[in-house]
Structure 1
Amino acid sequence: MSLISLCKQLEDPRIDRKKEHSLEVIVYIALCAVICGSESWNEIERFGICKFDFFKRRFPDLVKIPSHDTFNRFFSLLKPGYFELVFRDWVSELCGKYEGVVAIDGKMLRGASKCSKDNPFGKKGFKLHMVSAWAVSNGISMGQVKVDDKSNEITAIPSLIKSLDLQDCIVTIDAIACQTDIAEVIIENNADYILALKANQKNRLMDVERWLDEMDGVPDFITFLKFSHEPAL
């Protein structure tokens, strides 16, 4: 599926009388710009202007590049979940079935803001916490979900896992996800997992240490790693 074909799958959320640029033009230029490193609506507009001849060859009726305000308004109307679903299908078709290590991790996004009528320049102290799944071998993000304000990664991770095709993959997550429920969700998705275990789960760690002590020799598949947080001299 081509990128233009992806754009045509989307439903235009705008009113007909306010359409100066087609949906395909707006989405195609925006995706190309972001893939090439653009990080704001202004940068997307400048990218489009610099590559006008390139986009003109793909859209012969193109007269001018949409303004940064047009990009902003359009994507503010487009439902993120719906767009991500279509985009994820395109990436899956482009890359094929992925079988490898999938690293799931949560990050707090710097510079994020949430604007409203009461806070046109963004809510003070707003924090955007996302959990993403990274296909290590392909170097692409397979998907991401927002962590609810009154929740944490433990509740967001199962939702992300259920939305992905992880069959025959190895899922790695840090110690916060060392939970029975999360392990069960991964198994239900026909995947394997490597979950970090630290002292924040004291009883479980003691059980594992006791199990290892009782073993007659350590199997080859077990490797002990020691980490030090002391500064190097």
Structure 2
Amino acid sequence: MEILSFLDHISIIEDHRVPGMVTYPLNEVLLTTLVGLICRAADFDEIELTGLEQLDWLRQFLPFEHGVPQAQTFRKIFRLLDPKYLETAFSAWVESLRVHVGGGVAIDGKTLRGSKQAAGGDGALHLVSAYAHEAGLVIGQRAVNAKSNEITAIPELLDALVLNGAIVTIDAMGTQKLIAAKLIDKGADYVLALKGNQGTLHDDVRDFFADPDLLRECARHDDTCIGHGRIEERTCQVADASAWLTEQHSGWAGLASIAAVIATRTDKKSGEVSSETRLYISSLPPDPKTILNACRSHWSVENNLHWQLDVTFREDECRTRKDHAPLSLAIIRHAAFNMLKREPSKMSIKRKRLKAAMNQAFRKTVIC
């Protein structure tokens, strides 16, 4: 049972409270939170209500001798709960699911806007997550330190992941030599986006693909997608990096190819056309179809993960913002997301959450 596996892994989490003075065991608090998030709750008040309504059902998994705590108790516990233990437990649980990460793994950041400390948005939690595109699951996450950025959080996240055989995609913030080397050491390939923050590397790759003579020697793959009222045409051009790389740009572990992806969108109603070119470096051979598929899987993380968290889970509406509470709640939210995704029916996550809230038998299939 997935829920027994999850409970087994969270048993390693250190409870900060004084032994013998605990009314509500930590595993009961975390289980109530998980079930609440599966059943459409968005914050601790709604989690408390869900727990009270489903107390008899929860008791088939744990004793709940003293019932369910009040929302304020949830807040106090989560504020002091060390998220490092929870992240370790989450990673071990995901690994126990034997998630296949041999396809694309997107590393991408998202700000939890409801966790902001000030009206201007300052102090909001920014979370870097790893999303296994083929499995459709979150496989890990790390918070970005308020005095740092994603460059420091990404290596910590990579250290916690099993990535052998995966193709990891990261936006330009993570295009760093240290990160590329770490991915190669972990047996993964990479496709890293380029922007102006890599010094002359971005400009030189841009100039390469702007040269008509050099373009004739590039491998090319075209792809067209029609949907959502528009036509999207993508062209990926790639070149062997070893034939182009100069001493000025040495030091990139495993670098094998450079790529340019041109995306052209045509609005079917208005006929308006827009175009954008994105540049990449990659450890993959210069195969334009493979690199284009990897880029597309990275773009889809916005719809497959971030949109679901914002719209379906109402993550940005959650005003949990003090101490460790936003991060710890976000990790449990990812666990709920994974369980809902693994439930085999073809319903949307939104409908699964509604059905789980109303139907105990279905809820059990989600967590078991």
Classify 1:176/1:6 alpha carbon distance in 2 versus 1 (closer, same or farther; 3 Å).
Answer: closer
Aligned-residue RMSD, C-alpha = 3.1
Shift of 1:108: 2.0
Q: Could you say which residue in structure 1 is the equivalent of 2:147?
A: 150
Q: Deviations over 1:203-225 (max 9, x none)?
A: 21343343875476222578143
Deviation at 1:159, TM superposition (A): 2.1
Give me the TM-score of the superposition, normalised by structure 2. 0.54
Instruction: Indicate if the aligned counterparts of 1:3 and 1:28 stay in contact, CA closer than 8 A.
Output: no
The 1:29/1:13 distance shift into structure 2, 3 A limit, reads same
Of 135-144 and 220-229, the range deviating more from structure 2 = 220-229
Preserved contact between residue 144 and residue 160 of structure 1 (Cα < 8 Å): yes
Equivalents in 1 of 2:152, 2:26: separation in Å? Answer: 35
Q: Cα 1:85–1:37, aligned 2, differ >3 Å: closer, same or farther?
A: farther
Q: In the alignment, what sits opposite 2:262?
A: 226
Between the aligned partners of 1:94 and 1:29, the Cα distance in structure 2 is 21
How far is the alpha carbon of 1:230 from its aligned partner? 11
The equivalent position to 1:93 in structure 2, one of 87, 92, 96, is 96
| Equivalent position amino acid for 1:2 in 2 | S
Higher strand residue share: 2
Where has structure 1 moved over 6 Å in runs of 4 or more? 121-124, 228-232
The structure whose RCO (Cα within 8 Å, separation 6+) is larger is 2
> Deviation of residue 168 (structure 1)?
0.8
- Seen in structure 2, the aligned counterparts of structure 1 residues 182 and 8 have a Cα distance that, compared at 3 Å, is closer
User: Which shows bigger deviation, 99-108 or 63-72?
Assistant: 63-72
Q: Could you tell me the TM-score, scaled by structure 1's length?
A: 0.82
Q: Does 1:181 align with 2:187?
A: no
Q: Secondary structure at the match of 1:226?
A: strand
- 2:76 pairs, out of 62, 73, 78, with 73
- What is the total number of aligned residue pairs between the two structures? 227
- Which residues of structure 2 form unaligned runs of 5+? 222-234, 238-260, 273-368
CA apart distance, 1:124: 7.5
The one-character-per-residue Cα deviations of 1:13-65 (angstroms, maximum 9, x if unpaired) are 21134311222211211122224442211111111122222112223453522
Gaps of 5+ in 1: 115-120
Q: Which moved more, 1:168-177 or 1:204-213?
A: 204-213
Say if 1:230 and 1:127 are closer, same or farther in 2 by CA, change over 3 A. farther
